[in-house]
């Protein structure tokens, strides 16, 4: 059985994952309107992945005898300037999510809930990948220039 405090914290994270999902979907629409269909596709996949994270957390809560909630999701920003600025925003957002997950692990440790800590390590590892892939795209965009942007668009479309 999961503690009330941890259940609340995981439900808050489910809300955060769904917010991230909407953020990336909104970015996907933004890039699609610019004709960058490959990047838009990459972001749509990213959005779906965040939705899956929320569902995995909900499944875990239910398995532990808890109650998973779909709470109110705040509106996400619209419009990000250049493509580089958009991907820099993603990198910063993923660093923020990493901190949220770390905080969740800390609460699970406080509550002496080993099963939840074990479950969360998967997300700790996932965040290493998320930060890396966003940073890699930012680096490539800086190197690429305008012509390279189209090449990178095609490459990200293969996700």
Task: Find the shortest distance in angstroms from Cβ 20 to Mg ion.
Answer: 6
Task: Find the shortest distance in angstroms from Cβ 74 to Mg ion.
Answer: 16
Biggest CA–CA distance in the chain, Å, is 55
CA 83 to chain centre: 18
CB nearer to Mg ion: pick between 49 and 111: 49
CA 85 to chain centre: 17
CB nearer to Mg ion: pick between 15 and 37: 15
Task: Find the shortest distance in angstroms from Cβ 148 to Mg ion.
Answer: 28
Distances (CA, A) of 78 to 26, 34, 54, 99, 116: 7, 14, 22, 24, 35
List of residues contacting Mg ion (CB under 5 A): 50, 53
CB nearer to Mg ion: pick between 50 and 88: 50
Question: Taking Cα atoms as reference points, which of 73, 56, 72, 69 lies closest to residue 116?
Answer: 56
Token duo for residue 52: 């899956």
Task: Find the shortest distance in angstroms from Cβ 154 to Mg ion.
Answer: 26
Asked if residue 24 lies in contact with residue 50, where contact means CB atoms within 8 angstroms, the answer is yes
CB nearer to Mg ion: pick between 53 and 153: 53
CA 121 to chain centre: 16
Task: Find the shortest distance in angstroms from Cβ 18 to Mg ion.
Answer: 10
Question: Taking Cα atoms as reference points, which of 15, 5, 20 lies closest to residue 110?
Answer: 5
CB nearer to Mg ion: pick between 50 and 153: 50
Residue with CB nearest Mg ion? 53
């Amino acid at each position: 059985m999961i503690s009330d405090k941890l259940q609340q914290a995981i439900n808050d994270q489910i809300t955060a994952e769904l917010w991230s999902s909407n953020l990336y979907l909104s970015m996907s629409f933004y890039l699609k309107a610019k004709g960058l269909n490959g990047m838009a596709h990459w972001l749509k996949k990213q959005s779906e992945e965040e939705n899956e994270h929320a569902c995995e957390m909900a499944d875990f809560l239910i398995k532990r005898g808890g109650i998973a909630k779909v709470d109110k999701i705040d509106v996400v920003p619209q419009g990000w300037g250049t493509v580089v600025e958009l991907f820099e925003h993603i990198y910063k957002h993923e660093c923020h999510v990493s901190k949220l997950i770390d905080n969740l692990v800390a609460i699970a440790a406080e509550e002496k809930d080993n099963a939840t800590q074990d479950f969360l390590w998967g997300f700790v590892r996932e965040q290493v990948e998320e930060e890396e892939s966003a940073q890699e795209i930012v680096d490539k965009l800086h190197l690429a220039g305008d012509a390279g942007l189209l090449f990178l668009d095609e490459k990200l479309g293969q996700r």
